[in-house]
Structure 1
Amino acid sequence: MQTWDQIINTALLGTDKRGPGANELPAALAEAAAIIQQKTTDKEEQFLQTAALAFNYRQCGTMPLKKENVTIEKAAPEEKQYCSLLAVQTLNDILDSESNSLLQFWLQQCSDKARIVTPEFVPLLMNMGIQQKKLQHLVVACCGKRGEWLSRFNPEWNFSTASTDEDLWQTGSPEQRKLVLEQVRKVDPETARAWLMQTWPQEDAGTKIEFLLLLGINIGAADIVFLESLSKEKSKKVKDIALWLLKQIPGSPVVLQYQQLLQQSVTNGRKGLQVELPALDENILKTGIDKLSNNKDYTDDEFVAMQLIQAVPPSFWETHLQSTPDVIIKTWQKDATGKKLLPAIVQAVVAFKDQRWATAFMQNSHVFYIDIIPLLPVKEQEFYSIKFIGQFAENVIEHAIKREDTWSIDLTRAIFIHTARSVYQYNRSFYSRYIHCIPVGIIPELAKCAPGEEHLRSTWNNTSEYVTTLVNLKKQTIQSFND
C-alpha cells in the first residue's frame, strides 16, 4: 500500500512536507478523505485523521493466519480451589498500589493456603513475572493449571512450564537457575551442591562466581571437598571466593592451619596477652595473609594474628585458653594487646554466626558492635536495636530490613521516628518495599512518629496515609486467607 508509505514519511518529516492527497488514496477512501479536508484546514489534524482512516482500512484488509490440522488441547482441570472474593478484591487493590512487596506477600499467602487466582488475573500475573523474577515461582504456584497451559502460547512465560525445582535448574534461564539454587540451598544444601557439581564444567566464569556465592548459604563441612577442588580453576576470582568460603568452615584445612599457628603464637602469661609468631610458611601467605602491618598501631605479629583470628571459630579460644567467652572478653578488654585483637574476634563471631559469643559480647563488652545484632535472639535484637538506634540508626535499619519476619510495634515505632525525619532517603518506596516487615498494629502509633518540625510533619502526614493504605491491604490479605 503506497499510501501507507507516504503517511510514514510525513510522520517522520512533518506536515510541512506534502502528505497524501484525497486523490492519492484508494478509491474506497476518497469520499471519506474529502470530508476530512472539508471539515478542517489544520494540516496536523488532517494528517492524523487521514492516517487513522488509512490504518483501519489497511488492518481490515489483512487476512488472519491460517494453519491446517492445528489442535489445541484444553487446559487441565484445576486441582486447587480459587481464592475468595475478598482475596480477589484485595489483589486488585494491591495491583493498583504498585507495591511489589505487598504483591509478593499476597502471593505467598495464596500459595501457603494452596489457593489459585481466578482466570482473569493469570495473564496479568504472568506478565509481571517476566519483569519480577523473584515472583516467578509464586506466580506459577498461584496460576494453577491454566497458567501452565497458557505458558505454551507465549515463550516469555516459559518460566511456568518447569514443574519442579530440578526442571528449573536444568532448563531455566540464568536468573531462574540462580533463584532456584538459592531457594534449594536454604532447605536442602546437599542437593543444591550436587546440582552445582553436575553442571559446573559447563558454566562460564561469571556464572560460576554467582553460583559459588550462593554456596555460602548453610555452608558446612560437606562442602569442603568441592571447594578445595576449585583451587585448580583458571579464574582467580573463582579461586578467591572458594578460599573465602573455606575460611568460614570450622573444620576446613585452612582454618585448622590457622588454629595451629595461633596455638603456637598467642599465649596468656604474667605479662598479659603475648603474640610472638614464628617465621611464616609460604603456604600461609598464599591463603591471603599479609605479613606486614599497614597500621602503625599494630606490630607485624599483631597484624598477622588479627587476620588469623578473623578466620578461626571463637570457640577455639575457649579450648586454647581454657576459659569461657565472658571471662575472655573481660580479660582481653583490660589487656593492651587483647583490646587490639577483640575486634578480630567480633569479625569471627559474625563469620561463623556464633550466637553464644554474640550474646557474651553484648553482655560484657565496653564497646557496642552493631554487626553482632543479627546473631542474637529476636527479642534481644530488638532490645539492642531500639537502645542504640539513636547512635547507629542506619546500621539498625539495614539489619532490620534483612529480616524476613515482622518487626515488633516498638521497633517499628523507633524506626519510623528516624525515617520520618529523613523524608528524601526514606520515601514512599521504602515503606512499600518493606511492608512485609511492618506490623498491622502500627497504624495507631503513626501520629507518635511525626517529627517536631512543621515542614517535616506535613510530609510525614502524607507518608503515614500511604503507610496506612499499605498496612490495611496487608491486614485485608491476612484476613482473606484466614477466613
Structure 2
Amino acid sequence: MSTWEDTVSAALVGVRTRPVTTDDVDPVIGAHLPTTSTDPVVTTLTIAALTAVAHQSLGPESVVAEPIPPAPADPRPPMSALAAAYVHRALDLTPRLADWCLNLLGRSTVAPPSTLLPALLARTSREVDIRETVARIVGPRGHWLAQYAPELGAVLPTATSAAQLDDSAWTHGQPAERRGYLAALRERDPHAALDLLGQTWTAETGDDRELLITALRPNLSPYDEAFLEAALDDRRKAVRTAAAGLLVTLAGSVLQDRLFHAAASCLHVGRTRFRGQHIAITLPAEPDVALARDGIALKAPRGAGIGAFVLSQLISRVPPHRWEAHFSMTPDTIVGAIDPAEAGLVAALCTAAVTHRDRRWATALLAHPAATPDIIAVADETHVVDAFPTLPGALKVPALRAYPGVWPDALCRSAVRMLQAELSGSRFITPPAVQIIALMATGLPATDGWRQSVEAMRESAPIATTQFATLSEALRIRSVLEKELT
C-alpha cells in the first residue's frame, strides 16, 4: 500500500489498530514532519495533511486537456484594417446598411479578419436569409470557429453534393434529416426524388407528409402533376393546401385550367356610354363545392361576401397572361377597363402577377389607383422610375424600397422632393420621412455631391438632424467600402 492509502486506512480504523510510520514517507513530506512529537495521532494527522496537499496539487487524474485542431488557412487575400473597421460600423448602423454590407462582402474576394468573424456568425442565429451569404464571407476559418464556439449560435448551411447523399438519412433519419435528403436528391434528380417519395407516401405520418411535400417545390414539372393531384385528396388539410399551392404555379396544370374557367365565368367585357369598354363582374351566388379540393376556401371572413371572396381567390391564382387571350386585349387595356372602385379585383390580379412573376402585368397594374405595393418588386424597373411621380401615394415608399441597387438620378431627385414635402412646415418628423431617409442610406449614390446635398438638407430640417447624421455616415461608409472591397 502507498503512504496515502496507509494514512487513509489509519484514519478510518484508528492509529492503534493500523499505526502509521514515517519510514516510507516521501522525503519532501518527511522534511516537514515534527521530530519531537511521539504521539502517533499527531504524526498521522500531519502526514495526512501534507500528503493530501501534495495529492490534490496534481489535479484530477481523469481530466486530460486535448488541444483543438488549429484554424485552417484562408487562401483569400486579407481584408484591410480600414475596411474591417468600416464593416464593423456598417453592421451596427442600420439594418438596411447591414444588408447592403453583407451583399458587398458576399461578392468580395477578401478574407475578413478574425475579429470580425464572431459578429458575422452571431447574426446567422436570428437571420435565416443571410446564412448562405455569411457562409461564403467567413470562409474556412469562420466554419472552424462556428464548430468550436457554440456560444455564438451560428447556423451555417452545409452543402450536400450528390456524392455525399447517405441513404440512411432517408431510411432512419429524423424528419428534418429526411427532408434534407429528399431536397438534395430533388436538386440532383427531380424525377428520382418524386419516385422515392411516392414509394413511402402512404406509410408516412401526416406531419411527415406535410413536411416532405414542400421539398418538391424546386424543379417542378409536369412529371409531378399526377402525384400532386392525388395529394389534393389527402386526409390532412395542410398537405392538400401545399399540393394545391404547387399546382397553381405549375404552368399548364389541370388545376390551373379548372380555376381559370371558374373565374372566367364571372368576368366579361361590357360597354358603357361614358367609359367605353369595362370589365364587368358577376359574382357566383353559390360557389361550386368542388373548388374546395383545389384549395379555395368556401367560408368567407366576417363582413365579406362569399361570392367576392371566392372570386378573389380564383383570380389571384390564375396566371394573369391567360386573360389576354380570353378578352383579346393587352394587359394595359384590361387594367384600364377595370373600374377604380374594383379594388378587390385589382388586388387579386396584383397577387397573381407576383405569384407568377409576370413583369408585364405588374407593370401594367402600376397605372391603376387600387394597385397594391407588392407588385413593385416584379414590375419593370425603368417603368417604375418613369412613373414614380404619378404613382399613388401608397406605392411611392414601397417603390423606393423595392428598387434594387443604387437609384437612378431621376429617382433620387423624386425621392428628395418627396422628402422635402414631408418635412416642409412640420414640427415633428413624420413616419414616411423616417422611412425615406432610411432608404436613402443605400439608394442615394455614395458620392461627394450627394453627401453635400444631405448636409444641406440636414441644415434646413432641424427636426431630422439625427436621421440625416445617420444618412451622412452611411454614405461615407459606403464610399469607403466600395473602394476597398470592389
TM-score (norm 2): 0.61
Residue equivalent to 1:122: 117
Q: What is the aligned partner in structure 2 of residue 112 from structure 1?
A: 107
Q: CA RMSD, aligned part only?
A: 5.5
Matches for 1:322-333 after TM superposition, within 5 Å? 322-330=328-336
1:282 paired residue among 265, 281, 289 = 289
1:51-62 to 2 correspondences below 5 Å: none
Q: What is the aligned partner in structure 2 of residue 74 from structure 1?
A: 70
Structure 2 CA distance for partners of 1:81 and 1:192, relative to 1, 3 Å: farther
Over 3 Å counting, the alpha-carbon distance change for 1:78 and 1:373 in structure 2 is: closer
Using the TM superposition, name which of 345-354 and 219-228 deviates more. 219-228
Q: How does 1:70-219 map to 2 (within 5 A)?
A: 70-94=66-90, 97-156=92-151, 159=154, 163-164=158-159, 205=207, 212=214
| In structure 1, C-alpha distance between the alignment counterparts of 2:125 and 2:281, rounded to whole Å | 59
Match of 2:470 in 1: 466
Q: For the residues of structure 2 that align with 1:165 and 1:329, how far apart are their CA atoms?
A: 46
**Distance in 2 (alpha carbons) for counterparts of 1:427 and 1:312:** 37
SS, match of residue 232 in structure 2: helix
Residue deviations 1:45-91 (CA, integer Å, cap 9, x gap): xxxxxxxxxxxxxxxx9969984473543333322221123322322
Letter of the structure 1 residue corresponding to residue 140 of structure 2: K
Of 452, 455, 458 in structure 2, the residue corresponding to residue 444 of structure 1 is 452
**Do the aligned partners of 1:289 and 1:304 also contact (CA within 8 Å) in 2?**
yes
Contact 1:133 1:175 in 2 (8 A): no
Aligned AA for 2:320?
Answer: P
Q: Counterparts of 1:273-422 in structure 2 under 5 Å?
A: 275=282, 281-287=288-294, 288=296, 290=298, 307-330=313-336, 344-362=348-366, 370-388=373-391, 391-392=393-394, 395-408=395-408, 409-414=412-417, 416-417=419-420
Is the 1:309–1:345 contact (alpha carbons within 8 Å) kept by the matching residues of 2? yes
Q: Relative contact order: is structure 1 or structure 2 higher (C-alpha 8 Å, sep ≥ 6)?
A: 1
Shift of 1:469: 0.6
Q: Tell me the distance in 1 between the aligned counterparts of 2:178 and 2:463.
A: 42
**Gaps (5+ residues) in structure 2?**
1-56
In the other structure, the counterpart of 1:3 is none
Q: Could you give the per-residue CA deviations for residues 281-335 of structure 1, whole angstroms, max 9, x where no partner exists?
A: 4313544264999989x9x87776555333322322332333433444455659x
The residue aligned with 1:35 is none
Deviation (angstroms), 1:465? 1.3
The question of whether the paired residues in 2 share the 8 Å contact of 1:310 and 1:344 is answered with yes
C-alpha distance in structure 2 between counterparts of 1:352 and 1:251, whole Å? 12
Kindly provide the amino acid, as one letter, of the partner of residue 69 in structure 2. Answer: E
Q: Do the aligned partners of 2:121 and 2:152 also contact (CA within 8 Å) in 1?
A: yes
Which range moved further: 237-246 or 465-474? Answer: 237-246
1:256 aligned residue: 257
Pairwise CA distance, 1:255 = 1.9
* Match in the other structure for 2:45: none
Identity of aligned residues (%): 18
Match of 1:50 in 2: none
In 2, distance between residues paired with 1:218 and 1:93?
40
Query: Residue 385 of structure 1 contacts residue 411 of structure 1 at CA under 8 Å; is this kept in 2?
Result: yes
**Does the 8 Å contact 1:332/1:339 carry over to 2?**
no
Residues 154/310 of structure 1: CA separation in 2 closer, same or farther (3 Å cut): closer
Q: 2:247 is matched by which residue type in structure 1? A: L
* Larger mean Cα displacement after TM superposition, 77-86 or 427-436: 427-436
Unmatched runs of 5 consecutive residues or more in structure 1:
1-60
**Secondary structure of the residue that 1:117 maps to in structure 2?**
coil
Judge conservation of contact 1:193–1:215 (CA < 8 Å) in 2: no
Contact 2:233 2:293 (8 Å CA) reproduced: no
Q: Structure 1 residues 458, 283: CA separation in 2 closer, same or farther (over 3 Å shift)?
A: same
Q: Which moved more, 1:77-86 or 1:321-330?
A: 321-330
Shift of residue 468, structure 1, vs aligned partner: 0.4
The letter for the 2-side match of 1:109 is L
Instruction: Tell me, yes or no, if the aligned pair for 1:262 and 1:305 is still in contact at 8 Å.
Output: yes
| Higher Cα Rg, which structure | 2
- Which whole-Å CA distance do the structure 2 matches of 1:65 and 1:427 have between them? 67
Q: 1:249 to 1:468 in 2, by over 3 A?
A: same
Hey, what's the Cα distance between the residues in 1 that align with 2:90 and 2:127?
Answer: 15
Cα deviation digits, residues 11-56 of structure 1 (max 9, x gap): xxxxxxxxxxxxxxxxxxxxxxxxxxxxxxxxxxxxxxxxxxxxxx
